[in-house]
Amino acid sequence: MDTNRPPSVHALATSLADTGLPHPLLVDAARQAIAAGDPESARSIAEGIEVSLLRRVINATGTLLHTNLGRAPLAVEEPAGYRNIELDLATGERGSRQSQAPTLLARACGAEAALAVNNCASAVMLVLAALAPGRDVAVSRGELVEIGGGFRIPEVLEQSGARLLEVGTTNRTRTDDYRRRMADPATDVAMILQVHQSNYKISGFTEMPTTAQLAELDVPLVADIGSGLLDAACPWLPDGPPRWLADEPAARQTLEDGASLVVFSGDKLLGGPQAGIIAGGAELVARCGRHPLARALRPGGLVLGALQRTALAYLARDGQAIPFWRMATTPVDELRARAEALGVGRVIETASVPGGGTLPTVEIPSVGVAVAGDRRAELRGAPVPIVARVEEDATICDLRTVDPTDDILLGQALEALDA
């Protein structure tokens, strides 16, 4: 190239066609490189654009619900085609997109009805907007929390058009505190909102009413349980609930304890796609579904398809068909055998975590391979990027969050480090 004259943007972009990126993105890379006075850098800029695209990665961090990796592992392989998303195939009449996956989930957690929206934050927002507009919603001061990504209960309440009625104190709230506030003629309590302390713990001199106690009060109780554990008995696992699940609230038991509605995420312990579920009494669920916000927050066919697949696995009691549960319950011996079979790095005992802002202090015994130094950047550059973690100057790849079919790719990437 003539170094005195900058190459034309078009020529430079065309010379990068082998990257496979669409031409307009190559033009952007070429322009940026020429503007920086370094046309040669166009290729690395184009590669940077490619790396920034959404793609499959291998999660070797040991964090099962990794917020930066989309929480629960997602299985979507849908061929192009129409779906009966709002058509009743039996009658030929218009149907409801809420009649499939949400109805199956309701069946799986013992609810009369359920509704799916975009995520749990929007589920809470919709419930408040539909059931308590301009009225008071009683929340314990111990539950006025921020749950990751700027989801703050007081702010969500304000946005919904409901009024926050603070009850009790940060560390201690009793059922009588709610009673007293509700008896005050100046208040107009439409519902009690119970919010699970997903990502933090208050310990020491503490007291909080149970769901069953709050359900005895005279207004509907809505429980935001967050993680979406469907049933505390975990009937989809042959050995029942794993020990690390501890006292995580579950949808079925929260409803049995008398909550009018539960809301939870689709992509935490439920192990499905990003979604928010509102489950409980048919009349309250229907009122949420009729609110104009429900239309704005409704999920599309891809999400409903993935959610339906998850719901069917629960109903079939097939935890192995739900990637999150399959990974979370893989026996340590199996992980060790896989780590040894990689034949690279040092096999170590380690600990995975549930992640995703759930079960903040829980660790799950696991096995990984360790290599010296911080090799994360190189692993991220592998053909299928691998995300690992660093501990005490070693890079650790935890096998619990790696699908066994990816072991070969992981082994190849680790071997390439030695070269």
Pick from 62, 142, 220, 226 the residue near ligand PLP by CB under 6 A: 226
Residue with smaller CB distance to ligand PLP, 173 or 227: 227
Q: For the CB of residue 270, give the shortest distance to ligand PLP in the complex, in Å.
A: 10
CA 305 to chain centre: 16
Q: For the CB of residue 83, give the shortest distance to ligand PLP in the complex, in Å.
A: 24
Q: For the CB of residue 302, give the shortest distance to ligand PLP in the complex, in Å.
A: 17
Residue with smaller CB distance to ligand PLP, 79 or 150: 150
Residue with smaller CB distance to ligand PLP, 269 or 339: 269
Type of residue numbered 136: D
Number of shown-chain residues binding ligand PLP (CB under 6 A):
14
Contacts of 272 (CB under 8 A, 6+ apart): 72, 228, 266, 306, 307, 309, 310, 311, 322
User: Is 245 a binder of ligand PLP (CB under 6 A)?
Assistant: no
Pick from 151, 202, 298, 403 the residue near ligand PLP by CB under 6 A: 151
Residues within window 345-364 making contact with ligand PLP, judged by CB under 6 A: 357
Residues within window 73-132 making contact with ligand PLP, judged by CB under 6 A: 119-121
User: Is 224 a binder of ligand PLP (CB under 6 A)?
Assistant: yes
Q: For the CB of residue 358, give the shortest distance to ligand PLP in the complex, in Å.
A: 7
Q: For the CB of residue 65, give the shortest distance to ligand PLP in the complex, in Å.
A: 10
CB 212 within 8 A of CB 191: no
User: Is 163 a binder of ligand PLP (CB under 6 A)?
Assistant: no
- CA atoms within a 13 Å half-sphere pointing along the CA-CB vector of 95: 15
Pairing of strands 136-140, 163-167: parallel
d(C-alpha 114, C-alpha 247), whole Å: 24
* 107, 226, 232, 387 from 322: Cα distances, Å: 17, 19, 16, 21
CB 254 within 8 A of CB 281: no
Type of residue numbered 409: L
Segment contacting ligand PLP (CB under 6 A): 16-24, 190-198, 280-288, 347-355? 190-198
User: Is 196 a binder of ligand PLP (CB under 6 A)?
Assistant: yes
Q: Report the candidate in 267, 182, 265 with the shortest Cα–Cα distance to residue 221.
A: 182
Q: Binding marks (x or -) toward ligand PLP, 375..404, rule CB under 6 A?
A: ------------------------------
Residue with smaller CB distance to ligand PLP, 61 or 265: 265
Which single residue brings its beta carbon nearest to ligand PLP?
226
Q: For the CB of residue 121, give the shortest distance to ligand PLP in the complex, in Å.
A: 3
Please give, one letter per residue, the 3-state secondary structure of 160-229: HCCEEEEECCCCECCHHHHHHHHHCCCCCEEEEEEECCCCCCCCCCCECCCHHHHHCCCCCEEEEEECCE
Residue with smaller CB distance to ligand PLP, 228 or 411: 228
Pick from 16, 69, 193, 195 the residue near ligand PLP by CB under 6 A: 195
Q: Report the candidate in 188, 111, 126, 113 with the shortest Cα–Cα distance to residue 161.
A: 126
Pairing of strands 63-65, 346-355: parallel
User: Is 147 a binder of ligand PLP (CB under 6 A)?
Assistant: yes
Residue with tokens 């709610």: 178
Residues within window 267-286 making contact with ligand PLP, judged by CB under 6 A: 276
Binding site for ligand PLP (CB under 6 A): 119-121, 147, 151, 195-196, 198, 224, 226-227, 265, 276, 357
